[in-house]
Amino acid sequence: MDSKTIGILGGGQLGRMIVEAAHRLNIKTVILDAPNAPAKQINALDEHVDGSFTDPAAIAKLAAKCDVLTVEIEHVDASALADLQKATGIQVFPVPETIKLIQDKYLQKEHLIRHDIAVAESVAISGATDAEKRVALLQVGEQFGYPYMLKSRTLAYDGRGNFVVKSAEAVDEALQDLHDRPLYAEKWCPFTKELAVMVVRSIEGEVYAYPTVETIQKDNICHLVYAPARISDTLRNKAAMLAKNAVKSFPGCGIFGVEMFLLPNNELIVNELAPRPHNSGHYTIDACVTSQFEAHVRAVAGLPLPRDFARLATSSTNAIMVNVLGASTPDGELAMCERALQTPGASVYLYGKTTRPGRKMGHINIVSSSMDETERRLAYIMGEDVAPVVDEVKE
């Protein structure tokens, strides 16, 4: 289909699902990550690079085998990518400048504010010593009130890097918890829902939005995604516009996940962007015309993205994605996967990782023609006391 070879920095589950999408188009993918990473397991090649996506030498080794480089994670060496792009002319999507802006969550916020995108009020925490930072945190408490959110500017994921500062007395614990990390503080957002929109920018610069979805996090990790979000059409459209405008403010093509908060007065603000496929977009594999992974592959390879590729498969498609997290007993999480296999309209995705409590081991997409029915199937899969679904409701 396309003679370009795509190199992927990172070989976790997102890389694995990019590989699947690329392979269906006969597009070769080469992975940089540890040996036997999830994306390498389904991609039999001698050419993968064993190493770290933060190591410039390993990135150069990957680049030498590819025409285009992309990422499945933003915590890569963006300067190494920029240098390589300059030295060799290799295409890198998302562009290194965008990765750099997004990987520092405070720079990302400043960038969004410069482009008139609504975000929570935030302030950088300066200070060389813990004593200086302590003073800064107490000042933030006076400015924002309590609780407020203290965040690591870099290397954050699944809430690891966030601390809810509930009172002045909690400041020392917060500093201990986020010891040595570059910090900023964010005003507390009393959101009524968290929303997300996947947005794709083509190589020609066109920007497309997937449906607005609702995400429910448990312990800071994405637990459920409802597609479409259970909000008004007006709000869904507003969220899609906001997400598109946020993505338009960053250069370069590819897919982006845009996380948002819906506030009690129905205002929307952007929480953060991810310059890559996103957990909130896994539902697209079964519920949309083209999955987020294929859309990303098409975007970075310069392939067409025809009309309506990002819409729900039918006007009555209602989907829920549930993440499969490692259970407290090894492989205990497989019980829900077995129930999902018995459930019409449910698809199981396992990532080939060693089981560990709380680890993202896979996800399940459930699709039916009504959200009530999809929720009933979810309840069965989650082990609640409901009868198994034997027949699809009349479509």
Binding site for ligand ATP (CB under 6 A): 120, 149, 151, 156-162, 186, 188-189, 194, 217, 220, 259, 271-272
Q: Least distance in Å: CB of 387 to ligand ATP? A: 33
Q: Least distance in Å: CB of 347 to Mg ion? A: 25
246 φ/ψ angles, rounded to the nearest 5 degrees:
-60, -45
Write each residue from 249 to 268 as x if it is in contact with Mg ion (CB under 5 A), else as -, in one continuous string: ----------x---------
Question: Nearer Cβ to Mg ion, position 158 or 177?
Answer: 158
337 φ/ψ angles, rounded to the nearest 5 degrees:
-65, -40
DSSP secondary structure string for all residues of 306-362 = -TTTTSBSSTT-EEEEEEEE--SSTTTTHHHHHHHHTSTTEEEEE------TT-EEE
Distances (CA, A) of 67 to 64, 324, 341: 8, 34, 39
Identify what 161 binds: ligand ATP, Mg ion, none; CB under 5 to 8 Å per kind.
ligand ATP
Identify what 194 binds: Mg ion, ligand ATP, none; CB under 5 to 8 Å per kind.
ligand ATP
Identify what 288 binds: Mg ion, ligand ATP, none; CB under 5 to 8 Å per kind.
none
Q: Least distance in Å: CB of 369 to ligand ATP? A: 29
Identify what 149 binds: ligand ATP, Mg ion, none; CB under 5 to 8 Å per kind.
ligand ATP
Identify what 33 binds: Mg ion, ligand ATP, none; CB under 5 to 8 Å per kind.
none
Q: Least distance in Å: CB of 291 to ligand ATP? A: 20
Tokens 């199981």 found at: 348
Question: Nearer Cβ to ligand ATP, position 151 or 298?
Answer: 151
Across the chain, how many H-helices and E-strands are there? Answer: 13, 18
Burial class of 223 by CB neighbour count within 10 A (0 to 12, 13 to 18, 19+):
middle
Q: Least distance in Å: CB of 28 to ligand ATP? A: 29
Question: Nearer Cβ to ligand ATP, position 284 or 343?
Answer: 284
8 A C-beta contact, residue 321 and residue 364? yes
Sorted by sequence, the CB contacts under 8 Å of residue 132 that are 6+ apart come out as 126
Q: Least distance in Å: CB of 185 to Mg ion? A: 16
47: which 2 tokens? Answer: 């050419």
Q: Least distance in Å: CB of 112 to Mg ion? A: 14
CA angle, residues 330, 336, 337, in degrees to nearest 5: 90
8 A C-beta contact, residue 318 and residue 366? no
Question: Nearer Cβ to ligand ATP, position 79 or 157?
Answer: 157
- Tell me how many residues contact Mg ion (CB under 5 A): 2
Question: Nearer Cβ to ligand ATP, position 14 or 175?
Answer: 14
CA-to-CA distance for 53 and 92, rounded, in angstroms? 14
Question: Nearer Cβ to Mg ion, position 121 or 272?
Answer: 272
CA-to-CA distance for 334 and 320, rounded, in angstroms? 18
Question: Nearer Cβ to ligand ATP, position 104 or 186?
Answer: 186
Tokens 């034997």 found at: 390
For Mg ion, the binding residues (CB under 5 A) are: 259, 272
